[in-house]
């Protein structure tokens, strides 16, 4: 029995570490809108459409091209878009945009 505890403790710790890592690995997209939710929010005037947000970002960064756009719930109850852009040399630039105003909140990787 005593030897079993030496085996059991590392196993339990590994399981706990795995669940902690999985929970923290969700990242910014865990609150992504579904396509239906995004359409409804746009129709209700709560957010700008993705195409409008992409035009705003493209005007600010004309040398980059849009690779991905996601609408996610904000911590403060609103919503924001994460726009992933690519440069000609393969660099990734992530732009965060307020979904209601279209204001660029932050840029990473430029």
| CATH number, domain containing residue 37 | 3.10.450.40
Q: pLDDT grade, residue 31 (50/70/90)?
A: confident
Beta-carbon count within 10 A of 49 CB = 15
H helix runs in 25-90, sequence order: 35-43, 50-60
- Residue 36 binned pLDDT confidence (cut-offs 50, 70, 90): very high
* Any domain includes 12: no
Per-residue model confidence as pLDDT tens digits over 38-80: 999 999 999 999 999 999 999 999 999 999 999 999 777 789 9
How many structural domains compose the chain? 1
Least confident of 6-20, 60-74, 92-106: 6-20
The confidence score (pLDDT) of residue 30 equals 66
Query: Residue 19: inside a domain, yes or no?
Result: no
**Residue 17 domain-assigned (yes or no):** no
Instruction: Tell me whether strands 65-73 and 92-98 are parallel, antiparallel or unpaired.
Output: unpaired
The domain in which residue 88 lies consists of: 28-108
Is residue 22 included in any domain, yes or no? no
């Amino acid at each position: 029995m005593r030897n079993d505890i030496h085996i059991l403790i590392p196993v339990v710790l590994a399981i706990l570490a795995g669940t902690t890592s999985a929970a923290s690995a969700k990242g910014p997209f865990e609150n992504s809108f579904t396509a239906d939710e995004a359409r409804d929010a746009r129709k209700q005037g709560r957010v700008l459409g993705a195409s409008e947000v992409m035009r705003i970002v493209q005007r600010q960064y004309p040398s980059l091209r849009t690779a991905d756009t996601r609408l996610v719930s904000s911590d403060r109850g609103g919503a924001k878009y994460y726009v992933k852009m690519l440069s000609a040399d393969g660099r990734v630039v992530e732009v965060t945009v307020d979904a209601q105003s279209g204001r660029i909140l932050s840029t990473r990787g430029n």
